[in-house]
Amino acid sequence: MIRFFKKYDLGRLLLILCILAAIRIGVYMLDIPVLLPELNWLLAGQRMSDGYAMYKSIWYPLEHMSATVYFVLDILFGKSARAHFILSALCVAFQALYFNYITNRYRIYPKASSIPALTYVIFSGIFIDHFMLSPALLGLNFVLPVFAKVCAQTEEDRGEKLFFYCGLYLGIAVLFYLPYLALAAFPLISFLLFSTLTFRRIVIFLVALLFPASLFLVYYFWNDMLEDVYVFFVKAYFEHERLYYISNMIFLKIIIIPALVTIFSFAMIFLNSRYVYYQYTIVRVVFIWLCAGVLSLLMSREFSGFIFFIFLPVVAFYATHLFLLLRKKFISEVTLIAICTGIGLILYYSIKSPDKHTAQNLLVPTTSDKFPERNKKVMVLGENKSYYKDNFLCGPFLWWPSAKGFIGSGHDYESIILMNKILMEERPDAIVDTEKIAERIFDKLPAVNSMYQKTEWGYKKM
pLDDT in tens, 29-38: 988 888 999 9
Quick one: pLDDT at residue 369? Answer: 62
Query: Does residue 51 surpass a pLDDT of 70?
Result: yes
Query: Does residue 6 surpass a pLDDT of 60?
Result: yes
Quick one: pLDDT at residue 401? Answer: 85
Amino acid in the structure at residue 69: V
- What's the CA gap between 330 and 52, in Å, rounded? 58
Tens digits of per-residue pLDDT, 245-288? 888 888 888 899 999 999 999 988 988 768 888 999 999 999 99
Q: How confident is the model at residue 93 (pLDDT cuts 50, 70, 90)?
A: very high
Residue 454 forms beta bridges with which residues? Answer: 459
Quick one: pLDDT at residue 342? Answer: 95
Quick one: pLDDT at residue 411? Answer: 62
Quick one: pLDDT at residue 359? Answer: 55
Quick one: pLDDT at residue 294? Answer: 92
Quick one: pLDDT at residue 368? Answer: 64
Quick one: pLDDT at residue 349? Answer: 83
Query: Does residue 138 surpass a pLDDT of 90?
Result: yes
By mean pLDDT, which of 90-94, 325-329, 429-433, 455-459 is the weakest?
Answer: 455-459
Mean of pLDDT values over 290-298: 92
Mean of pLDDT values over 327-335: 89
Quick one: pLDDT at residue 354? Answer: 60
Tens digits of per-residue pLDDT, 156-187? 888 889 999 999 999 999 999 999 999 999 99
Q: Kindly report whether the global pTM for this prediction surpasses the value 0.85.
A: yes
Q: Is 249 exposed, middle or buried (0-12, 13-18, 19+ CB in 10 A)?
A: exposed
| Percent of the chain that is helix, strand, coil (3-state, to 5) | 70, 5, 25
Q: How confident is the model at residue 457 (pLDDT cuts 50, 70, 90)?
A: confident
- In angstroms, the Cα distances linking 83 to 75, 137, 283, 415 are 11, 15, 37, 38
Closest C-alpha to 297, from 349, 358, 339, 255: 255
Tens digits of per-residue pLDDT, 205-241? 999 999 999 999 999 999 999 999 998 999 888 887 8
Quick one: pLDDT at residue 358? Answer: 54
Q: HEC states along 99-114?
A: HHHHHHHCCCCCCCCC
pLDDT over 70, % of the chain: 96
- What's the CA gap between 19 and 340, in Å, rounded? 12
Quick one: pLDDT at residue 210? Answer: 96
Quick one: pLDDT at residue 363? Answer: 81
Quick one: pLDDT at residue 186? Answer: 94
Strand order in the sheet with 377-380: 392-393, 377-380, 430-432, 458-461, 452-454
Per the prediction, the chain carries an average pLDDT of: 90
Query: Does residue 15 surpass a pLDDT of 90?
Result: yes
